[in-house]
Copies of this chain bind each other. A is one copy, B any other.
Amino acid sequence: MTSKAPPKAASAPAAPIALTRKKSDDFMEWYLEVCDVAELSDKRYAIKGMNIWRPYAYKVMHNIDEFTRKEMARSGHDEVLFPLMIPESYFRKEQEQIKGFGGEVFWVDFAGENKLEERLVIRPTSETAMYSIFPLWIRSHADLPLRTFQIVNVFRYETKQTRPFMRVREIHFFEDHSCFATYEDSEAHMNVDLEVVRNCLTRLALPYITSRRPDWDKFPGAHYSVGCDVVMPSGRTLQCATVHQYKDNFSKAYEITYEAPDGTRKNVHQTTFGMSERLVGATVGVHGDDRGLVLPPEVAPIQVVVVPIIFKGKEKPVLDACADVARRLRDKGLRVHVDDRDRNAGEKYFHWELRGVPLRLEIGPRDLEKQSVMTVRRDAGKAIVPMATVEAEVEKLLQHVQADLLERQTKFQAGQIHRAHKIEEARPLGGIVVLPVCDKATCGHGVEEALDYKTLGVPMDEPSDASRERCAHCGEAAKDWIRFARTY
């Protein structure tokens, strides 16, 4: 039957298959285009900042989730799942957090035709849902530590400009919530979490800098917060992980206590640790180039694409060889796709380069004769390898791609971090500037305003003592070197 609908997109020209923007010209324009053209995210859903995950991007996210799960299991965390909706009374118990999120949450008022007796918040994060239940789970010191995490979507009524994976209203989110008997135990756990960050981001070939956030930018309710920021190609930073020391701030509000061996009741000390779909945004933004995505092998949905080079009448031996190579690679646990579509080879190269497949293998009649395979790395470099040892050669090449992407970005990051002594000196530098500042919040704010930068905080991954320096803002004795940057 023929629909009466007016002619639609199908009659319009097909979506552009090549990038029209260059990464070096305008990073953000390029980023938005690559998210669209490589079919990562569809922004055409009717609610701003609530985007559709297309299959290719969701596979990347799922790979990240799965290795995060492994890391969390290794470090003794258990996965839970708490409800999406939080009664207003739970949410209001901790005043700092309601202040921090109060203006940014979605409220459910009705179920069917019934106005709810108590309205419900759609979780912007899960402290208030979880901490209302933790008192039921924690009775004595024997129940500690309690180390839990969940992987869920959270919701924030973002009023700033939204961008796929970087700033959205429905956020794919990872959150660790752990409780300890003592402050010392919780401090030690900060390092456990920071090691998980290290292992996860290394699999994405993403170096980052670790800074202790200033008090005015810590997470609502936190005692202090540590941020892990990736330096994007524009020189701006993207916060990709945060680890928070809550001390007993929440456990007092939510009465999370335990019976100590001496019979007294004490408040637990808590830490949290969060990551999100920003890891996808950082991976796309950092590694991509003018031809599209460049995905680190550890997280690529397809690690190796095999393209048969076919001449009429000689299809079968080539296709058989491709299938055989693919099978051998899959037996090694690799994610392999054979592109045997009826298209020309150039079109296929283009298609998989746009999608960032780390390694392409080409096999044609001449390769069969020589019993060799042409390998083409997405980042750089071609080589002919013997077919007999293709598994070992491919594994080695993928390791090289992974290592080289990390090394390239590590160098880029190093070149983006500049120490300076005075604001005027810092102004033209771009990227991240590190200035000596005294301990007055007004001076931190003063530098932010003068540069139109945000404070990342005190470096935790390099020396931060600036007691021999003068504050870049007031000229009095400085305390720490502090990082400032433009942020996404």
Would you call A259 an interface residue if the criterion is a C-beta within 8 Å of the partner chain's C-beta atoms? yes
Instruction: Pull 7 A–B residue pairs with CB atoms less than 8 Å apart, ordered by A.
Output: A2-B264, A7-B265, A58-B79, A103-B112, A106-B120, A107-B110, A108-B108
Whether, in the assembled complex, A365 has its beta carbon less than 8 Å from a beta carbon of chain B, the answer is no
Asked if B107 and A111 make an inter-chain contact with CB atoms under 8 angstroms apart, the answer reads yes
**Are A83 and B265 in touch, CB under 8 angstroms?**
no
Which A37-88 residues have a C-beta within 8 angstroms of B? 42, 44-47, 50-55, 58-59, 62, 78-85, 87
Complex-state Cα separation, A83 to B170, whole angstroms: 7
A157 x B46 contact (CB < 8 A): no
Is A136 part of the contact surface with B, judged by Cβ < 8 Å? yes
- Which residue of B has the minimal Cβ distance to A252? B3
A158-177 toward B: CB 8 Å interface, digit per residue (1/0)? 00000000000010100000
Which residue on B lies nearest to A157, using beta carbons?
A: B111
- Inter-chain contacts of A85 with B (CB < 8 A): 47, 50, 106, 170
With CB as the reference atom, state the residue of chain B lying closest to A168.
B83
Instruction: Kindly state whether residue A455 has any CB partner on chain B within 8 Å.
Output: no
Contact of A170 among B52, B84, B112 (CB under 8 A): B84
Digitize A86-107: 1 where CB-to-B-CB distance is under 8 Å, 0 elsewhere.
0101100000000000111111
**Are A10 and B139 touching (Cβ within 8 A)?**
yes
Q: Does A267 contact B (CB under 8 A)?
A: yes
Asked if A273 is at the interface (CB within 8 A of a chain B CB), the reply is: no
* Residues A59 and B79 in contact, CB atoms below 8 Å apart: yes
B1 touches A266 (CB 8 A): yes
Cβ–Cβ < 8 Å partners of A44 in chain B: 133, 136
Distance in angstroms between the alpha carbons of A80 and B112 in the assembled complex: 28
A188 on the B face (CB < 8 A): no
Q: A residues bordering B, Cβ < 8 Å?
A: 1-3, 5, 7-11, 14, 42, 44-47, 50-55, 58-59, 62, 78-85, 87, 89-90, 102-114, 120, 122, 129, 132-133, 135-136, 138-140, 148, 153, 155, 157, 170, 172, 248, 252, 255, 257-259, 264-267
Contacts of A46 in B (CB 8 A): 87, 89-90, 132
Taking the closest CB of chain B, its distance from the CB of A429, in whole angstroms, is 37
Residue of B nearest to A78 (CB): B55
Which residue of B is nearest A5, CB measured? Answer: B255
Query: What's the least CB distance linking A300 to chain B, in Å?
Result: 16
Chain B's closest residue to A79 (CB) is B58
The listed residue (B2, B51, B105, B108) touching A107 by CB distance below 8 A is B108
Contacting residues, chain B, for A78 (C-beta < 8 A): 55
| A129 neighbours in B (Cβ, 8 Å) | 45
Query: Contact between A1 and B248 (Cβ–Cβ < 8 Å)?
Result: yes
Q: Provide the residues of chain B in CB contact with A9, threshold 8 Å.
A: 135-136, 139
Q: Are A84 and B3 in contact (CB under 8 A)?
A: no
Shortest A204–chain B CB gap in Å is: 20
CB-contact partner of A258 in B10, B53, B79, B107, under 8 A: B10
